[in-house]
Chains A and B, each alone.
Chain A
Amino acid sequence: MPREGVLVQSPYKRLSTEQVRQIHDASVQLLRDPGLMCYNRRAAEIFHSNGAEVSSITPSDSPCWHVRIPEKMVSQALESAPKTVKLGARNKDNTLILNGDEPRVFFVSGSETNIWLDVDIETYAKKSDPGTEILVPEFRPRRGTLMDLCDSAHVCEHLETLDAYIRTVNIQDKDITPDNKDVNKFFASLNNTTKHFMAGLTTLSQLDNVVNMAKLIVGGEQELKDNPIISFITCLVKSPLQFVDDTTETLIEICLRGLPTVVSSSPQAGSTAPMKEDGIMAQINAEVLAGITLSQLVNPGTPVIYGSVPVRARLDTLGDSYGAPETSQFNVDCVQLARFYRLPCYATSGVCDAKTPGMQCSVERLFSDILVTLSGPQYLHCAYGLLDGNSTFCLLQAVLDDAHFEMLKFFLRPPRIDQSEIEKTLKQIREVVATPQKLYIRYIRPMMRSGQLSAPYPFEGDGERDAAILLAYNRMKELLQKPVEHLDEATTARIFNEIPGILPRLNVYA
């Protein structure tokens, strides 16, 4: 049985049907005029051979082609792109079925951050009364490592609301090189979680090593097709409307192998896209449509996910402002556009501007997590543990996030109201009204035992002081002590024999 995720009964719509159509039309116009600047020769040739108007741009620092994509080519691609994408998993119970027509949301970690935030709990004494002490979390940022990635995958395995794992931290150990990064990233993750694993590829030359590793885990090529335990994120777009060379090449190769991939664009409203909502929507949609069109020209029917990471610019630094309400507006709009095309959608929420766990972080994250979830994206990159935009990952924050997704999932349970339930409830009311105490408390118990009532917030302290971070810290430690379901010894041995570059310290059987 695949994972259930949470079905949003009546997805929140920000745009009217007419506005969605208008954005689509605007995107189609952009793909013709001004069209794309394509820095990848192969993609330009594929577009050209399929009837797009392609011309070489000279002079240019690097080879570049101007590609004008006709509407018909986009329509055909949208027809051939699968409406349902399966994301497999080592444990088949963790399989995800993303159906473009069904607003069933799966919650996912990510992105790849450079900084790992360690947490220590220190004791401070009150100056005026040294006998009075408090515990204070202290955060220490440092560069992420391979073992951090293992720990993150391990804890994410045990976060119940987390449906799939996108690598959370960029591995920056001294012995990690561009040539061994991908195999180590994939092995560290796959060896520590049985959930679906998605990542970007650092070096195209490592694609086959990564795919072969996945084949060894599931038992062969057909098995991997049936149970694609890995998938990819390809950010082939550089906004506005440019296809970069290397990622475009990566997308082509992934599509040729028929593995699921997110075709993603991440424009920033105000700098690389218009600040106005209609402008960034028309542009990001054009960029994603262009990528999807290329994927279907390369391999019709290859599974692709409509990927959107729109964000608003901060006006003080021109950095990304993920905490801004506009960022959530843009993401909700993208979910609606993907649904218009009946494609599964990778949307973004939960990324915040706050640098450490705390109040700002909670406000920003919950704001976007609730709103974007309610719009019903199939694959919600809701950024468990992510802080400071895309810069920092904190395991403790991921544990805190799990608790609020539990609440969100509970909220989205369908109402249990029908005539039979109403009859029972009326009987109950009549019974209680006839008693001297007039209390319904005894009727809570069956609901409580059958899981119909939400659990209390798990990080509520006993006293008046907010204890959420301290309690989540303890929970994080508990999760780190839980057993890890590693790959078996024989598979591990085969992977180490056949896939070059995996660092020996990842071999738990050595």
Chain B
Amino acid sequence: MGDSLLDLIVQNVTQGRASQDDEGLEEGWEGQPGVTELVQKALDAGVTAEDIINKGLTAGMVIVGEKFESKEYYIPDMLAAAEAVGAAMQILEPHLAKSGMKAKGKVLMATVKGDLHDIGKNIVSILLRGAGYTVKDLGNDVDTRSIVDAVREERPQFLGLSALLTSTMVQMGEVINELRETGLRDSIKVIVGGAPVSEEFARSIGADGYGADGFAAVRLVESLGPSQQ
């Protein structure tokens, strides 16, 4: 029972189906339970959160990643799978402590002050959730003070800052300075991204890393590892 549910979770992750209303990549999936329903069923059947994550969600995402690498899948497929996993993680969160499994980490995301562009930030958020991180999205046009306050309150391991304009990307430096001044800088890894942002810019403002796209952002977070708090 448990194994077959886990297999179905794997299949539905690869189909990118969060719920029973979602279409799959192939015909005939609509109406059948999606990842969120299957995860709930698995929990009800006594499957541990750890097994659901490792043998269901992560195993599914590994297949999706391979298909993306081999160009069988495109970004929309990756995002759909990540969205499904992200939705499942919300269900699993209360069960993680019980199973003794630690979350991979918490990421705070924001588009900086003066900038209303949030597509890139949203995509990164979806992909990070899909990769097993807890993501708190502060939204767009978020002022420096609010970001710093949220870091203090949420105690995330990572802060992701996004900007699409050359006029607003300077705010990223302001946030880092403010974190430094308030003594929070060493408690968090700051990653930055957005069309005008570059590796060089990231270094110049003292960020910990730069992600050229959503996938690079996930790789970056994985490589930076858990922050020492």
Contacts and interface: CB of A to CB of B under 8 A. Distances in A.
Contacts of B23: 445-446
Contact of A442 (B76, B119, B125, B137): B76
B83 A436 contact: no
B74 A442 contact: no
B77 interface: yes
B79 interface: yes
B74 A436 contact: no
Contact of B119 (A439, A444, A449): A439
B25 interface: yes
B75 A441 contact: yes
Interface in B120-170: 122-123, 125-126, 137
Nearest to B121: A437
Nearest to B126: A437
Contact of B76 (A436, A437, A438, A448): A448
B137 A436 contact: yes
B50 to A, nearest CB: 28
A441 B80 CA distance: 8
B123 A439 contact: yes
Contacts of B79: 439, 441-442
Contacts, number: 35
B38 to A, nearest CB: 18
A438 B139 CA distance: 12
Given A445-B23, A445-B25, A449-B25, A438 B122 contact: yes
A442 B122 contact: no
A437 B119 CA distance: 8
Nearest to B80: A442
B60 interface: no
B76 A444 contact: yes
Nearest to A440: B76
A437 B77 CA distance: 16
Given A436-B137, A439-B119, A445 B125 contact: no
B202 to A, nearest CB: 20
Nearest to B26: A449
Among A438, A439, A446, the one with the most B-chain Cβ atoms within 10 Å of its Cβ is A439
Interface in B68-93: 74-77, 79-80, 83
Given A448-B74, A448-B76, A442 B16 contact: yes
B25 A437 contact: no
A402 B56 CA distance: 43
Contacts of A438: 118, 122
B142 to A, nearest CB: 14
Contacts of B26: 449
A446 B122 CA distance: 21
Ranked 7 nearest A-B pairs via Cβ? A437-B122, A444-B76, A441-B76, A442-B80, A445-B76, A441-B79, A446-B23
28 contacts: A436-B122, A436-B137, A437-B125, A437-B126, A438-B118, A438-B122, A439-B119, A439-B122, A439-B123, A439-B126, A441-B76, A441-B79, A441-B80, A441-B123, A442-B16, A442-B22, A442-B76, A442-B80, A442-B83, A444-B76, A445-B16, A445-B23, A445-B76, A445-B77, A446-B23, A448-B74, A449-B25, A449-B26
Interface of A: 436-439, 441-442, 444-446, 448-449
Interface of B: 16, 22-23, 25-26, 74-77, 79-80, 83, 118-119, 122-123, 125-126, 137
